[in-house]
Chain A
Amino acid sequence: MSDFSDLYQELILDHQRNPRNYGEIPGADHHADGFNPLCGDKIALDLKVDGKGLIEDIKFKGSGCAISKASASLMTTALKGKSSEEADRIFHQFHDMVMGKDGKGGTKAPDLGKLKVFAGVRDYPARVKCASLAWHTLEAALHDKRDVVSTDDGVEP
């Protein structure tokens, strides 16, 4: 391994090689598309939310760099069974972590779990959008925003 292990951690490489929850959900009740015009990363996100408001199923499809693919994959594993309020909270913690707003080490991010593997992204400002694309797309899907989410269209990274 090289000195890039802060960014390209084994867990990230594993999820980019073998993305979890990859595909579509027939009859999904929430859907959104995300796009990063800078690098051409694309994601299509499907969600199924049950009667109690919990995320019953979540799947993504798309193409992109290792960071964006692994982020989407780990996001889906982190959110299954969570309520949309919990998902919002995790999104904000994740966002603060990759933006470096949470103090070093993500100590104020009790709900992140495995997602803390993306803490290294804060040292690579050009890659914050890659890590965030799936999450912005999730927000659009959960809150039924129609437009394609674009990381270069006034969306804060």
Chain B
Amino acid sequence: MSTKTRQKPKTAPAQKGPSYDVERIRKDFPILKRKVHGKSLVYLDNAATTQKPLAVIEALDSYYRTTNSNIHRGLHLLSEEATAAYEAVREKARVFLNAGSTKEIIFTRGATEGINLVAATWGNANVRSGDEVLLTTMEHHSNIVPWQRLCEQKGAKLKVLPIDDKGELVLADLRTLLTDRTKLLALTHVSNALGTVNPIREIVKAAHAKGAKVLVDGAQAVPHATVDVRDLDCDFYVLSGHKLYGPTGIGVLYGKYDLLDAMPPYQGGGDMIASVTFERTLYKKPPHKFEAGTPAIAEVIGLGAALDYVGKVGLPAIASHEADLLRYGTKRLLEVPGLKLVGTASHKAGVLSFTLGDIHPHDIGTILDREGVAVRAGHHCAQPVMDRFGIPATTRASLGMYNTEAEIDALVKALRKVVEVFR
């Protein structure tokens, strides 16, 4: 997935080895033991959110039991410990993304807030009437709406890089769509609806050659492979903790320091100021300039536990396991009569999106649910993708590190039941 493994695909599959013990990993996720409608839970909705390992649940619990305190203020021990634990996660996130400095790591509520932050600050300061913002057809609504609003406010133009029938970006169009007026290219690393992995480094290079900045939505990428923001050379990168086995309500925005430093603040409040008088307020430097108010301290600490956990299992091993499952799932799903995969890019991660004859995905979702299989049915907050394929919705099974071939088999069995009901 990272551009490094793209350059040398031969090195990727060998890393899993016999040490990847999916049953042992499953034991770390308490929720996987539960029943739904009397059946064993088969959780295949990981692109919506992932389940949490015990380490994350315990980190939240332990924080509230032993350390709870406000950060960056108190002179007492609890505050010092909470501050240290909070800032330690900034370093973990820096390492996770291979950013150059913790000053480039801003905690947000999630990928959506990260994008909105960049639109409201960098966008507001840099995008003017007549400028252009380039998106792609496969963006999640969270990487469309903030830019649409910005362009409306500024009188700027929104342009869209199309996708082909396989769900891959039409890179040949990049040359004409990137112009001297393009201020920003905002695109996803991995499509949530199709699973397509985009060649970010190549695209960043093309955008930079035209003087445009690049924001990458990494929400669907970081759970599946190692990301190196310096290697990608993107200007901004956003992710959500809850899709990475961490808590909800916490995410990370990476930005190149010089850009962050020049950007106006996002929200005003405590913790982001150096001094306040009624005449004038002096702001802190990044990252604190962008973290007004008491942050989601427990969630940040929970995210730290998730990063540790993912690091311990190892992203290359996770990626390899999921690639095997994706291959197996693709083969098994195509055995179901009438099933058509939507999104068949040659480089894919973790997503099996499909239609099944003219059976509506919501009917499929209901029957699957009663069989214990949790999938997403709908437009996946990517209506332009559905429009591109001329369908109202798809059913989507999305993979995580704890999924198994037996769960794919359960999905296929449940789908055969759907076919039987609607025969």
Residues in A with CB closer than 8 Å to B361 are 39, 65
Chain B 357-373, CB-CB to A under 8 Å as 1, else 0, gives 00111110011001000
User: Looking at the complex, which one of B363, B420, B421 makes contact with A65 (CB distance below 8 Å)?
Assistant: B363
Which residue of B362, B367, B379, B392 has the most chain A CB atoms within 10 A of its CB atom? B362
Q: Does A2 contact B (CB under 8 A)?
A: yes
Instruction: Let me know if A40 and B378 touch, CB within 8 A.
Output: yes
Residues in B with CB closer than 8 Å to A18 are none
Residues in A with CB closer than 8 Å to B378 are 38-40
Instruction: Let me know if B360 and A64 touch, CB within 8 A.
Output: yes
Residues in A with CB closer than 8 Å to B360 are 39, 64-66
A-side residues, CB < 8 A to B, are 1-4, 7-8, 13, 38-40, 63-67, 124, 126-127, 130
Which residue of B361, B386, B421 has the most chain A CB atoms within 10 A of its CB atom? B421
Given contacts A8-B422, A13-B422, A39-B360, 5 further A-B contacts (CB under 8 A): A2-B420, A63-B392, A65-B361, A66-B359, A124-B366
Chain B residue at minimal CB-CB distance from A123: B370
Given contacts A40-B378, A40-B379, contact A66 B363 (CB under 8 A): yes
User: What is the predominant secondary structure among interface residues of chain A facing chain B?
Assistant: loop
User: What is the predominant secondary structure among interface residues of chain B facing chain A?
Assistant: helix
Q: Does B342 contact A (CB under 8 A)?
A: no
20 CB-based A-B contacts, threshold 8 Å: A1-B420, A4-B367, A4-B417, A4-B421, A8-B422, A13-B421, A13-B422, A38-B378, A39-B360, A39-B361, A39-B377, A40-B378, A40-B379, A40-B386, A65-B360, A66-B360, A66-B363, A67-B362, A126-B366, A127-B366
Q: Roughly how many angstroms separate A13 CA and B362 CA in the complex, as a whole number?
A: 14
Q: Roughly how many angstroms separate A67 CA and B366 CA in the complex, as a whole number?
A: 11
Whole-angstrom distance between the Cβ of A62 and the nearest chain B Cβ? 11
Whole-angstrom distance between the Cβ of B340 and the nearest chain A Cβ? 18
Whole-angstrom distance between the Cβ of A8 and the nearest chain B Cβ? 5
Chain B residue at minimal CB-CB distance from A64: B360
Chain B 335-371, CB-CB to A under 8 Å as 1, else 0, gives 0000000000000000000000001111100110010
Q: Does B307 contact A (CB under 8 A)?
A: no
Instruction: Let me know if A65 and B362 touch, CB within 8 A.
Output: yes
Q: Does B133 contact A (CB under 8 A)?
A: no
- Which 3 pairs between the two chains have the least Cβ-Cβ distance? A65-B360, A40-B392, A65-B362
